[in-house]
Amino acid sequence: MQANNHLHKISPEKVVRGEKAWEEAKELIPSLCNKPLLLGRSNCTYEIRKSLSIELSSMGLNVVHEELNHDCCEIDLQRISSIAKHSFCDAIVASGGGKVLDAGKMIANRLNIPCITVPLSASTCAGWTALANIYSPKGSFIKDEILEKCPKLLIFDYSLVRKAPKRTLASGIADALAKWYEASISSGNSNDSLVQQAVQMARVLRDQLLIDSKTALQDPNSDAWIKVAEGCALTAGLIGGIGGAKCRTAAAHAVHNGLTQLDFKKKSLHGELVGYGILVQLRIEELLSKNQLALQTKKQLIDLLIDLDLPIDIQSLGLKSYKKKELEKACIFACRRNSEIHNLPFKVNENTLMEALLDANKLDLISSDKKSNR
């Protein structure tokens, strides 16, 4: 018999998804609020947010606009929370990528008002979950925070998400793939039936991504695109909701968190670093458990990452410096106390991680012609 109780925050209260989801779902918003704060960030989503705002205003809502200046960081969270509070906003409509969605959820959580998420890419499952990552203003990961609840309403409008750059979908695929690689190793032996089922869902999602990702990226009007985009933005969130805290992240996200401590020439997306983190995790498994299955799995994964134009070697991550001294900072952060890396079933220290980080893609089985195509 299980000794402990488990609290799950499985999904948003309502999810509206489809080609014109916004058209249908916007009608639900006036019953949730009178004065929403519409949160966004990048210039490239400005026009979309402007049109959402015009439509909300035409339904009689008094819309307040704010933009993040940085990633989801404490300075922005405090500034915008204060504006929302003093303007008497009664909901947050977060419209953008993962960091905007996370910030919107956190502000709504702090003010105890509903959050409506409108993802403008399929780069993460942040529109779904009751979790948010907090970064420093320069983009270094600080911590993740568990929120009171999932969003009140998630609007996944294909026509809006399709406008996002290709790179965001590739990044979302890597992040969604990590669900299987991390949950299967951290929770694969769990006796908890919900955790077991969540891990199996992650496996089915991985298989679907292996089959459909290439077509999805090539043709945004294909059925494959819908399956893959929803897999990344919705199913990945559902897996986290069902599996709960026990269906945990492991080394792939720990590597991401460590790498964000470094300086970048060209900023990488969350999933681009997580994808490399999966390779590092598989390399750690090879080094420490001599797991031959990991070797096979890795070959399959590397082929997919190459197809999606995602980084498979450390030099492609966009870092300012690849000196060992610099990379050590990432390893120390990734191996700090309470890091997800310690969810692995064997002990990992900074030295093993450094070794895995430097030659994550090392695999005699990889055909050299495919590698040299990059």
From the CB of 294, what's the least distance to Zn ion, in Å?
20
Q: Which amino acid is at 219?
A: D
From the CB of 309, what's the least distance to Zn ion, in Å?
19
Which of 54, 62, 102 is CA-nearest to residue 80?
A: 102
Residue (175 or 285) nearer to Zn ion, CB? 175
DSSP state of 212: H
Q: Which residue has the tokens 């797991």?
A: 291
Contact positions vs Zn ion (CB under 5 A): 175
From the CB of 347, what's the least distance to Zn ion, in Å?
24
Residue (76 or 175) nearer to Zn ion, CB? 175
Which of 137, 105, 108, 134 is CA-nearest to residue 119?
A: 105
Residue (22 or 181) nearer to Zn ion, CB? 181
From the CB of 253, what's the least distance to Zn ion, in Å?
6
From the CB of 279, what's the least distance to Zn ion, in Å?
15
From the CB of 255, what's the least distance to Zn ion, in Å?
11
Coil, helix or strand at residue 40:
strand
- Strands 64-67 and 36-40 turn out to be parallel
| Distance in angstroms (rounded) separating the CA atoms of residues 91 and 346 | 44
- Strands 141-146 and 131-135 turn out to be antiparallel
Please say whether the dihedral angle defined by the alpha carbons of residues 288, 290, 293 and 296, taken in this order, is positive or negative. positive
SS3 track for 216-249: HHHCCCCHHHHHHHHHHHHHHHHHHHHHHHHCCC
From the CB of 238, what's the least distance to Zn ion, in Å?
14
Kindly report each contact of residues 20-23 with a partner whose C-beta sits within 8 Å and lies 24 or more positions away, as own/partner.
20/157, 20/159, 21/155, 21/156, 21/157, 21/158, 22/52, 22/118, 22/155, 22/157, 22/159, 22/160
Q: Which two tokens stand for residue 161?
A: 């998400």
| Distance in angstroms (rounded) separating the CA atoms of residues 86 and 45 | 26
From the CB of 239, what's the least distance to Zn ion, in Å?
12
Q: Which position's Cβ is nearest Zn ion?
A: 175
Which helix (H) or strand (E) is 118 found in, with range? strand 115-119
| Distance in angstroms (rounded) separating the CA atoms of residues 239 and 235 | 6
- The HSE-up count of residue 223 (CA atoms within 13 Å, CB side) is 2
* CA diameter of the chain: 63
| Distance in angstroms (rounded) separating the CA atoms of residues 131 and 109 | 11
